[in-house]
Amino acid sequence: MGTMVQPKCKCKHKFKNLNLGGGFSDFKKSCIVPLPCFNCKDVFGLNILNKKHLCPKCRTRSTPYGEISTNPSSNPLVFDWGIDFETSSTYELEDKMYTCPVCKQEELSFEVIGFFD
């Protein structure tokens, strides 16, 4: 089951909703996570399992928000996704402020607005 989130920033830029995670059938091959693009000034959904982390629009290399860890975070999470159960690798998006690609301030957070299959 995936999670729908709304990126929100103090600068009030209207970001689109993002569907994070993936479907049950492809959960081992797909984990959509938020990727900021400072060139397009937007946040996109990117499969973190792709070898290259490129903006889907302008192909600029970027770094997704959140991280893959084998050590569960003790901080509150907006979203997490089991990537490999054998090594217990989990993608985690902490509930904190991230750098906004529009105003470049550390004021961007994610709000969960729903779930999807």
Nearer to Zn ion, 1 or 11 (CB): 11
From the CB of residue 65, how many other CB atoms can be counted at a distance below 10 Å? 22
List the 67-69 sheet strands across, edge first. Answer: 67-69, 89-94, 77-84
Alpha carbon 105 to chain centroid distance? 18
For the record, the structure tokens of 53 come out as 């982390």
Query: If binding is defined by CB under 5 A, does position 37 make contact with Zn ion?
Result: yes
Nearer to Zn ion, 36 or 81 (CB): 36
Nearer to Zn ion, 34 or 90 (CB): 34
Binding residues for Zn ion, per CB under 5 A? 9, 11, 37, 39-40, 55, 57-58, 60, 100, 102-103
